[in-house]
Structure 1
């Protein structure tokens, strides 16, 4: 999915997570995702990606692989987050496995620190699925993470 030219903030509340999903777009790419308690009044609730998120939260499998994202993070963290995106729907990896997927050394404390920092500061959780990593850390809040892990059978 590429919402060509879409720019702005879209948000909708979902009973399944007892809160909202807020998605920021720039130039048709998702650049931020957050999970506020309520959708901001100035956020548009009408977007096909929010429809897909609702279906996903109700149990419809969706890996969101086709969602165009725009990462504005340092190159080394970008490699980690791009590797994270390759973890399929319904599967999980350890931090050390993600480290290897990012072509880093899982036995190097600096590389492990890089991976955990990238996970902790993930600007686009859900589409860069940190909830699929065993033992985190996570940018996805705990209650939301628990809900989406249940959806994916993790």
Structure 2
């Protein structure tokens, strides 16, 4: 097995599960916009995709006005429910702790807002496990574009 100095992880469904707050905030935004509710599974299928693209996938609307309104309402609810309702997946915390105990650097590159990831780790009393976070506010081009990974490598 190779011995690396640093490990880079995705966030959603790799380290953490934010399914309930994502579904809840999307349903809230759709309801506020008087749009037909999407199914839970359809919303789950958009996790990891930038919110504007998710909105278009779910509604068929690609208007800037619709996207911005959806983002506003989704964030409104997400600000309330995401941090306290996101949990680690399986043994993710233990794996991160083992890597830190071995002196490894740990980074996260995500299509999620980086400050929200920071807040989630704070809430889980685990912020010390992560050295660097690259979120949507740190890049112009979202994954799968490698910009976030290149920024992480340069840190």
TM over 0.5: no
TM-score (norm 2): 0.30
User: RCO greater where, 1 or 2, for CA within 8 Å and sep 6 or more?
Assistant: 2
Q: Which has the higher helix share?
A: 2
TM-score (norm 1): 0.30
